[in-house]
A and B are shown apart, each in its own frame.
Chain A
Amino acid sequence: MGLQAYLTLAAVVFCIGLFGVVTRRNTIGILLGIELMLNSVNINLVAFSRFSGDITGMIFTVFTICITVVEAALGLAIVILLFRIRRTVMADQLDLLKG
């Protein structure tokens, strides 16, 4: 399998994630979509690293995974706070900045 297959997989995962982010009403679902998009980036990094023989991409991915975890924790904390204040986690009801 060539590089193109990995890149295609990454692109598909990215699009699925983006679709989730844009369409899910539930904030938790949006967070899941973001996780998918981040992981598609990880696939890209690992694939390029593997095919160019440079280890940097791999190491970078390890860091990204850590950061993703932190980000997920922060995101969930925000969602919980949001629920406490607004009594909802539905993204389409959170429109305080509506013009």
Chain B
Amino acid sequence: MMTDAALHTLIALLLHALSFLVLALVFPFRRMGRPAAWFSILCAGGSLVAAVIAWNHGAGSVSRVVWPWMISEGQTLATIGILADGESTIMLVLVALISFLVQLYSIGYLSEEPPASLGRYYTYQALFAFSMMGVVIAPNLLQLFICWELVGLCSYLLIGYWYYKPEAARAAVKAFWTTKLGDTGFLIGIVLLWRLAGTFDLTEMRALVESGALPVAGLSIVTFCIYLGAMGKSAQFPLHVWLPDAMEGPTPVSALIHAATMVTLGVYLLLRLEWLFALTPDVLLIVAWIGAFTALLAAVLACVQDDIKRVLAYSTVSQLGYMMTAIGAGFATVGFFHLLTHGIFKALLFLGAGAVIHAVHSNDLQHMGGLARRMPQTTIVFLVGTLSLAGIPLFGGFLSKEEILGAVWAGGLVGPFALLMLVAFLTAFYMFRVVFLAFFGTGGLKASGYQTTGSWGPASAGSGADHSHDVGDSHDHRHVPHDPPISMGLPLWILAFLSVAVGLYFMVAGPALPFGTGEPEFEAPGWLMPSAVGVAVAGILLAWLTYQRRTINAASLAGAFAPIRYAALRKFWLDDLFEALYGSVLLAFSRLIGWVDRYIVDGVLNVVSAWTLTSGDDLRTMQSGRAQDYVYGVAVGLVVVLLWVRWALA
């Protein structure tokens, strides 16, 4: 039963579980810090090897191993197990790879954390990797949902890693609640689907769908509810508000969870249920439009951010919108393809940004500039990531992005297609804005951030600065930014190499995806590739003219789009809207409930208990304590009973 693919999938999963359990339970070991970290990295490395072997074995086949769980009255209500097929094993490799590299990178990035804190970080990391893999290989919706929630918990814990920072704690709670809103829909969807299909199992459900046994009536509600879960996790409008705030966590966490893996789970879920969603084209249309709209909204927002991590965060939201649009167009595999390439180059970008933040001690683009001379390695890898994201030929993101555009066009969605083309332009523009501001030009090196005294100035110590633990005066050697140490540099180079290698591989081999089957082929029109590259190059050119050559004044460019810029700086008032909804509707409702509870429910109970007390007090005096009174009572009672028997019952 247990095939090689399933076995190695299980090993990959359990290695992280082992690492988590050891770190969580053996707390003296955890508090040692670095040894605990290396243990976790070792497990992650082993997991990566196992995942690659599983992929090697499982790419062309489907192995499914399930064990019964929750047996009641001879019936198995649910199962747990492994579903290792082409899609899940390659996703497993991506998770294992990014997880391993991020853990390795974190050793350098968090080198100044206290040991106990570092141990805590790696405990969360191990739990995250375990639960993430649990979602990826889940053969049924119940197991998927459990791991899905665990992943959300890890996201909360890791965003709030620096819990003593109020912004981080707030962001963690916000992320948790916003995704929870979507998850509620997801859970309802799962239960409704179970009522329709009678099973949680994906394979059985798919068989039902393919034989036409699943009733289509009312299915739209179900798929929409499930989409709500994906919307929360994958930060689709209007539930995208948590992702930019999640950047308060450490940068490696942002790379792993909030760029490469966890946030793509929504896309992965829709891919897994592609056959189900195919039955409800109306919901797919919603998915596509929301995806395209999210992509555009986030791209516009990314253009006005000065925080390097926030630019990347909005860019992630935007790319997730891309993937969702492809799924909405009916080509889930294409969206998944972009998920994989995006996972690599976005992790690269985040880790590169982490290296910059580590060196500059600020998130603010205005404090950077001219870093290319001081951090040549970081500049090269960041540029590779940026070119991938912009969709330049030969780089990782080019083909997947173009595939998405082709798929959306083939799906007949002209409106979303137009939005996505605009997004492609904006993506190139805002990413190269970052590159030119941070790595080239003269920027703000002299302006602030590099004083020879210990503190980093009010601007960087304020809103988004990632390194509250660095505030101190023991870092005199750091004042000139330099390339990161080898433990941070190696993951960057590996990811950069992979970005290019993936791009080159698909340039040569064509878009023959190494997973998935049965996807309807589409023919992208010939003008698509040149125009997609064209808009990207136009975006780069505009960024170059504005931020490098200064031919176009950035201020006048901003002036030309003043209303949009004004709205974007205020995040299109979405956060304010949510806050107002929370303040007016939710709180008012809660106050009403509180009033009812306090004055009606509690009031009735208080009155009843007061009556009981006073009547008991009155009845107490009946007890004289004298035996004769009781005898008298018994005698009178007997007489009454006798009379009653004699006359009333006769």
Contacts and interface: CB of A to CB of B under 8 A. Distances in A.
A98 B624 contact: yes
Interface stretch (B134-142, B155-163, B468-476, B615-623): B615-623
Interface string B568-585: 000000000000000000
Contacts of B623: 97-99
B628 interface: yes
Contacts of A99: 620-625
A21 interface: yes
Interface stretch (A2-10, A38-46, A54-62, A87-95): A87-95
A22 interface: yes
A14 to B, nearest CB: 10
B631 interface: yes
Nearest to A99: B623
A23 B621 CA distance: 20
B164 interface: no
Contacts of B626: 91-92, 94-95, 98
A21 B628 contact: yes
A36 interface: no
A96 interface: yes
A97 to B, nearest CB: 4
A96 B627 CA distance: 10
B621, B623, B624, B628 — most chain A CB neighbours (10 Å): B628
Nearest to B633: A22
Nearest to B629: A22
A22 B624 contact: no
Given A18-B635, A22-B635, A92 B620 contact: no
A23 B632 CA distance: 9
A30 interface: yes
A91 B627 contact: yes
Using C-beta atoms within 8 Å of the partner chain, give the interface range for chain B.
Answer: 10 to 19
A19 to B, nearest CB: 10
Nearest to A15: B635
A21 B621 CA distance: 22
Contact of A97 (B621, B625, B631): B625
A91 to B, nearest CB: 5
Interface string A69-93: 0000000000000000000000110
A98 B628 contact: no
B621 A22 contact: no
Contacts of A30: 628
B631 A98 contact: no
B621, B626, B635 — most chain A CB neighbours (10 Å): B626
A91 B624 CA distance: 12
A18 B634 CA distance: 11
Contacts of A98: 623-626
Given A99-B621, A99-B622, A94 B627 contact: yes
A30 B624 CA distance: 18
Nearest to B623: A99
B523 to A, nearest CB: 96
Contacts of B625: 94-99
Contacts of A94: 625-627
Nearest to A96: B625
A18 B631 CA distance: 9
A92 B635 contact: no
A95 B624 contact: yes
Contacts of B624: 95, 98-99
A68 to B, nearest CB: 18
Contacts of A23: 628
Contacts of A95: 624-626
A92 B621 CA distance: 15
A91 B628 CA distance: 7
B617 to A, nearest CB: 10
Contacts of A97: 623, 625
Interface in B266-309: none
A22 B636 CA distance: 11
Nearest to B638: A18
B642 to A, nearest CB: 12
A60 B622 CA distance: 39
B150 to A, nearest CB: 60
Nearest to B627: A91
Nearest to B617: A99
A92 B635 CA distance: 18
B458 to A, nearest CB: 75
A21 B631 contact: yes
Nearest to A93: B626
B641 to A, nearest CB: 16
Nearest to A18: B635
13 contacts: A18-B631, A21-B628, A22-B628, A92-B626, A94-B626, A96-B625, A97-B625, A98-B625, A98-B626, A99-B621, A99-B622, A99-B623, A99-B624
Nearest first, the 5 A-B pairs at minimum CB distance are: A99-B623, A98-B625, A95-B625, A97-B625, A99-B620
Given A22-B635, A99-B623, 16 more contacts: A18-B631, A18-B635, A21-B631, A22-B631, A22-B632, A23-B628, A30-B628, A92-B626, A92-B628, A94-B625, A94-B627, A95-B626, A96-B625, A97-B623, A98-B624, A99-B621
Interface of A: 18, 21-23, 30, 91-92, 94-99
